[in-house]
Structure 1
Amino acid sequence: MTSLLLVEDDAVIRTSVSLALERYGYHVTTADDGLSGLEAAQTGGHDLLLLDVMLPSLDGISLCRKIRETSQVPILMMSARGDGLDVVAGLEGGADDYVVKPVDLPVLVARIRSLLRRTTIAQPQPETGQVGATLAFGELSVDTGSLEVRRAGQRLELSPTELRLLLEFAAHPGIVLERATLLRTVWDYGWDGDSRVVDLCVQRLRKKVGAERIETVRGFGYRLNTT
């Protein structure tokens, strides 16, 4: 059973969301403040973390950053509607996606399923007799079989979303990929989503693979520099 950790200080929201997610077949562990959420996250065993932005003892953005120091577990942030600064800060802190509050349950479940699928794609597959190719772009190499990424020989630790994004670029080297396209292929959005998630994830990825490796094509999107 897929295990989720929900960190939310509002007892009504915490109870209603956890019960609703359990009806969808998830096992939900809860915490009511940032520090207890950090302790629960560090015990491991969760497939996805759902963090509220506004938390006592340790806010959700700081909690996200602390978790990212040691773990690449998928993280979904919950932000008050229209609070753009929180959304940006959460994504910059390492979150993979976000939902707005009050939470729309079908949207929340869709985002959870999408993120979990992304995580599955970003896992090495069992041996099938086929050997994955190693793609090289300057000092960056991507092994499509083991899903190991190296820069100048050093292995990089990428979150599932960062890895899925890099694989999408690597599959289309030198080709401009629009933000809307990346939202569909990486985030699995069946509708127009917030392009900030693309921009901020690209920023995080650039810090790891090299700022020159992923180029911005103004007014269109991004492309992988192959030289």
Structure 2
Amino acid sequence: MQQTNATILVVDDEERIRRLLRMYLERENYTIEEAANGEDALEMALSHDYDLIILDLMLPGIDGIEVCTKLRETKATPVIMLTAKGEEANRVQGFEVGTDDYIVKPFSPREVVLRVKALLRRASSTKFLETETSAKNVIVYPHLTIDHDAHRVTVDDQEVSLTPKEYELLYFLANSPDKVFTREDLLREVWNYEFFGDLRTVDTHVKRLREKLNRVSDRAAHMIVTVWGVGYKFEVVND
């Protein structure tokens, strides 16, 4: 089910890039707003509920990393980081501050559209679910409850705020306890990549997810288990 009425904020200091992305995304019936610097981007992102933000890393004023860091203090808006820097350290830094996806310039506009569609589909899946069923879709484990209809995660009765990708990763793993998934499996199933993605994406999201769960309960954080040389699994922790 394709979402075609989403509003996307495109942030880049190069007008030609904003114009290119606007052209391709408007063809998909998305509504596009633009910002040319970090200050404007942050103000717009905090004052409006965008469905997705495409955010350049290198911006005049405050950069994309700082924008994403401040955004994540209050909002879980999906973010695709766009940058000319392709080094691993930059990718990891972007994911560690809460970026959901990462695209390196020069890029294919069609690839950007595919990733936007995949991320919006994941972020909006529970909205469709809520309209299609009245049944409660809840996963309950010791110390951890996932209410999929409400898109809510609670740890020891305390709600934990997750980005869309962090939530989808947790929900996917928790749906198949004790089953081991490779990083490639998770990129395909959670990120919906039909093309090669950076395997480090999975590692950095697992790290952030564990950190958020651990702030409330180390037992909940330890449910996400690393299977060395293979990938990850969800393991129920018994008291």
| TM-score class normalised by the smaller sequence | over 0.9
Q: How big is each residue's C-alpha offset from its partner over 1:15-52, in whole Å with a ceiling of 9 and x where there is no partner? A: 22222222222111111110011111112131100000
Match status 1:131 vs 2:141: no
Q: Answer yes or no: is the 8 Å Cα contact 2:78–2:100 preserved in 1.
A: yes
Distance 2:25 2:132 in 1: 34
Amino acid in structure 1 at the alignment position of 2:152: E
For residue 221 of structure 1, report the CA deviation from its aligned partner: 0.4
- After TM superposition, the score normalised by the length of structure 2 is 0.89
- After TM superposition, the score normalised by the length of structure 1 is 0.94
Distance 2:192 2:90 in 1: 23
Q: Answer yes or no: is the 8 Å Cα contact 2:84–2:104 preserved in 1.
A: yes
Amino acid in structure 1 at the alignment position of 2:135: Q
Q: Which residue of the partner structure matches residue 235 of structure 2?
A: 225
Percent of aligned positions with the same letter in both sequences?
38
Structure 1 residues 129, 10: CA separation in 2 closer, same or farther (over 3 Å shift)?
A: closer
For residue 122 of structure 1, report the CA deviation from its aligned partner: 4.1
Distance 2:69 2:112 in 1: 22
Structure 1 residues 174, 94: CA separation in 2 closer, same or farther (over 3 Å shift)?
A: same
SS of the equivalent of 2:8 reads strand
Distance 1:106 1:38 in 2: 26
Q: Which residue of the partner structure matches residue 187 of structure 2?
A: 183
Distance 1:121 1:129 in 2: 15
- Provide structure 2 residue ranges, at least 5 long, that are not aligned to the other structure: 215-220
In the TM superposition, structure 1's runs of 4+ consecutive aligned residues that sit over 4 Å from their partners are none
Distance 2:49 2:149 in 1: 25
Q: Cα RMSD (Å) of the superposition?
A: 1.5
- Provide structure 1 residue ranges, at least 5 long, that are not aligned to the other structure: none
Amino acid in structure 2 at the alignment position of 1:96: D
Amino acid in structure 2 at the alignment position of 1:125: E
Q: How does 1:89-104 map to 2 (within 5 A)?
A: 89-104=93-108
For residue 158 of structure 1, report the CA deviation from its aligned partner: 1.1
Match of 1:119 among 123, 126, 140: 123
Q: Which residue of the partner structure matches residue 217 of structure 2?
A: none
Q: Which residue of the partner structure matches residue 153 of structure 1?
A: 157
